[in-house]
Structure 1
């Protein structure tokens, strides 16, 4: 069973349904005991980095998440959930993220339409447990105005081009991040969710 962290951001039920569609049991919760019992954690989300961290801190969910990850529990961040895995965000105003990955989250360049919304191709950057069965150039669905500038280039496993090279998939040991929405990305998204299911066991 995986725990989808309920902190009031994003369509939690659509993420839950996507995991259930590939045979992975998932609950939406903010209960510390259920988070502790889960095999893995998922942080979904739509909105601003600052607001997301404020919500996570309100009930000390940020510290609970970090404690579980330190124990080796897998975590998956989706869209805004991926961004808060990094050290700092600058949306609304500067604030600290969960600091599970090195790097900052910055605004996309102004010469492109913001938010970045729609289908873009994945450029594969290295071996990843999430990319089994995924080919160069497959399309996934993005909606975001900020992007991660990773402090460790080796964590970037796939990118997309939107005026800058946007990390689309990051992976470090048991920490995974997807800037796009796999639950809205058709067959490619389902393949990635299946791969996550295999990793979680």
Structure 2
């Protein structure tokens, strides 16, 4: 159930540039999505060295790639495809290089989105379809709690906090089956108007959130810092 607006006050992000002494390098994919500067600022505040770019070599070489997205599924996919973001995501994940999707950046990781009766293909990293929330009040806009699974890295220290959502569509089922002894993805859920939906996924190198961590106050800052601390530091010229 949606709770009253207001940022979390108890969670505090710590700098992510820890033992290795240098800030992790993060590229925020510049595919034309609105208000990405807030994502850049939030990542910088969490301890990252950030570039907003669609440059292929920079995106592939970065310690982490962030795929933001707002608005419609189909429009976001078109923007991502126009800058070769589909190939960047595929190549990074094939090499185990971390990717973080935010809002529609989570949705496009699924097979497809169905908006206004029109089905659009997604990036196909996860099986399933993004559909309209079945709630009396849509969009779902405001602060809400989440149900994070045990062992979550993203939600370490912020499992009881609230995060900021703005969306009318969501992935409302998790359809990926366990494959042998591979580690199962960790799926975080939330609820709006009695309709449960996926709020976040941690799946090896690929993580994503339906909510906006950059708009989620201290809790969102802590979550971004948690993600940054997971990033390997790849070789770079000094």
Fold conserved between structures, TM > 0.5: yes
How far apart, CA to CA, are the structure 2 residues paired with 1:113 and 1:80?
Answer: 19
How far apart, CA to CA, are the structure 1 residues paired with 2:127 and 2:150?
Answer: 18
The answer to whether the aligner puts 1:112 opposite 2:156 as a matched pair is no
2:191 maps to which of 161, 164, 181? 161
CA offset at residue 196 of structure 1? Answer: 0.8
Structure scoring higher RCO (CA < 8 A, sep ≥ 6) equals 2
CA deviation digits over 1:21-46, x for unaligned, max 9?
A: 01111111111111111111101111
State the 4+ residue runs in structure 1 displaced beyond 4 angstroms. Answer: none
How far apart, CA to CA, are the structure 1 residues paired with 2:159 and 2:204?
Answer: 22
1:20 maps to which of 44, 62, 69? 44
CA contact (8 A) 1:127 1:157 kept: no
> What residue ranges of structure 2 are gaps of 5+ in the alignment?
1-24, 178-183, 233-238
How far apart, CA to CA, are the structure 2 residues paired with 1:27 and 1:60?
Answer: 17
1:65 maps to which of 69, 89, 92? 89
The answer to whether the aligner puts 1:139 opposite 2:162 as a matched pair is yes
SS of 2:126's partner is coil
User: How many residues align structurally?
Assistant: 199
The answer to whether the aligner puts 1:171 opposite 2:202 as a matched pair is yes
> What residue ranges of structure 1 are gaps of 5+ in the alignment?
none
Report 1:41-120 matches (<5 A). Answer: 41-92=65-116, 93-109=118-134, 111-120=135-144
Tell which structure's C-alpha radius of gyration is larger.
Answer: 2
Q: Compare the two structures and name the one with the higher helix fraction.
A: 1
CA offset at residue 131 of structure 1? Answer: 1.4
SS of 2:166's partner is strand
Q: TM-score, normalised by structure 1?
A: 0.93
Q: TM-score, normalised by structure 2?
A: 0.79
